Every structure is written in structure tokens, then in C-alpha cells.
Amino acid sequence: MATWYLLNTIRVKGPNGVSVLQAGELINDQFTQLSLIASAGGQVGPSSSAALAAASVIALKKRKQGAPVREIDAIMLAVNPGDNYLFSTALAGATVAAAAAIVTALTFTPVATGKVRVRCYAALAPLGAGTFTPIVKQGATTIIAPGQLTGAASQSPNNVAGETVVTGLLLYVPVVFSFVTTAGDATVTLGHGAAGAAAGLFLEELP
């Protein structure tokens, strides 16, 4: 579930008839599908954008003053909404078993280009034995394999990191990305002495 600012006024046909969604409104994609908004010609921007939040206040004021729809739409559409991004991290001291999530999976919705940079990293204490083979998956497909750490001779710090760019994602269609260990991996402890985040998955829609 996520919320978005609607950038232009649209008419949407629902089970109870046609309703008007106005520019500047917050849309909860749990209740109003972004694909439905897109099919009606709507555009959205992330609710995390401070610029859109400020524009929304102005749009609401203009609407109360009786400004025409085109003027209100222009206020929202003129704003650069900023980055569409998500991230998930795990703290030092957490343990991760085989075939388990290193960080909480992310559900990402492209809204502009469908081109997303995906980055991951993990730091862990020396392995007593076994292997650590993290991967990043888009749905069920592996898109990053940062490398494998092995065995009792491993020394701290043990860091793995990777990055890729995914293209061609459909706009307004959520995609799940996950950063996980593989079957047969040893149970590992994240971090190597320092407190704070010791693993992360980062997603950013590119221009």
C-alpha cells in the first residue's frame, strides 16, 4: 500500500458510477488502483514529495475559491515531484538463515519511466563455516548476484554489494524486489562491530 498525489483531474468509472478525482488529492492505491487512474489519463507523484505536498495545499485553496480545473491541474503538473524511491535495511546483530530475507522485501511502483536502479549491500561477521550467497530477485527472477563468502577462514569485514538497472517496467504496476540468502547457506550474523544498518536494498526510478 502507498499513497500518491494526483496531478490532474480525471473521471473514473467505478461500481457506483462515474466519479471525479481532482488534482491535488491523495490517492491510496489499496483502494484506487493506479492502473485504473492511468487508463483514465491520470498522472501521479509520490506522497513523499515536499514540493507536491505544498502544491496540493495551493490546489485545494484554489479549488475552494472556484478556480477552473485547468488552473488547478497546471499547479500540480508544474511541480517536479522529485525522486520515486524505496529502501529497506536490517540492523547489525540480526541473524539470517538459509533461503531467508536479509531485509524486508519492497513493493515498488514505477510512475514515470519504468527504469529502476537496484542496489544492495550486506556486511556480516566472519563465517564459522559454510557459505553466504545473497541474491536480489525481481519477482522470482534473480537480477543481482553480488558474490559468495566462504568458510572458517573468512575475515572481517565481510562485505558484499551489487547494483543493476532494470528497464521496461510497466507504469503503475507494482513489482516486488527482495534481497535474500540461498538454500544451503550458513546462518549469518549481520554487522562486524559497528552499530546501525548492516544490510540494505535500495530502489530508485531513473529519468
**Every domain of the chain and the residues it spans:** 3-77, 85-205
Q: Nearest to residue 143, comparing CAs of 172, 165, 161, 174? A: 165
Of the listed ranges 102-106, 190-194, 197-201, the least confidently predicted one is: 190-194
Q: Give per-residue burial for 150-183: e unless 16+ CB within 10 Å, then b.
A: eeeebeeebebebeeebeebebbebbebbbbbbe
Q: Quick check: 178 and 144 in contact, CB under 8 A?
A: no
CA-CA distance, 110 to 31, in Å (whole number)?
Answer: 18
Taking only the tens place, the pLDDT of each residue in 93-141 is: 999 999 999 999 999 999 888 999 999 999 988 887 889 999 999 999 9
Mean pLDDT taken over the chain:
90
For the chain, percent of residues with pLDDT exceeding 70: 96
Q: Is the pLDDT at 153 greater than 70, yes or no?
A: no
Say how far apart CA 16 and CA 117 lie, in whole Å.
40
Residue 158 has pLDDT above 80, yes or no: no
Instruction: State whether the Cα torsion 125-130-136-138 is positive or negative.
Output: negative
pLDDT band at 55 (very low <50, low <70, confident <90, very high): very high
Q: Which of 15-19, 35-39, 46-50, 161-165 shows the highest mean pLDDT? A: 161-165
Name the CA radius of gyration of the chain, rounded.
21
| pLDDT score of 152 | 61
Domain formed by 85-205, architecture: Sandwich (2.60)
3-class SS letters over 122-145: EEECCCCCCEECCEEEECCEEEEC
- Residue 6's pLDDT band (boundaries 50, 70, 90)? very high
Where is average pLDDT lowest: 7-11, 12-16, 19-23?
A: 12-16
Q: How far is CA 111 from CA 21, 64, 143, 182, in A?
A: 18, 28, 21, 31
Angstrom distance (rounded) from CA 20 to CA 193:
55
pLDDT of 154 above 60: no
Higher per-residue pLDDT: 168 or 78 = 168
**Listed range (35-44, 147-156, 159-168) with the worst mean pLDDT:** 147-156
Are residues 8 and 43 in contact, defined by beta-carbon separation less than 8 angstroms?
yes
- Whether 81 has a pLDDT exceeding 70, the answer reads no
SS3 assignment, position 36 = helix
Nearest to 22 by CA among 93, 65, 70, 83: 70
In the predicted model, is pLDDT for residue 207 greater than 80? Answer: yes
Residue 13 has pLDDT above 80, yes or no: yes
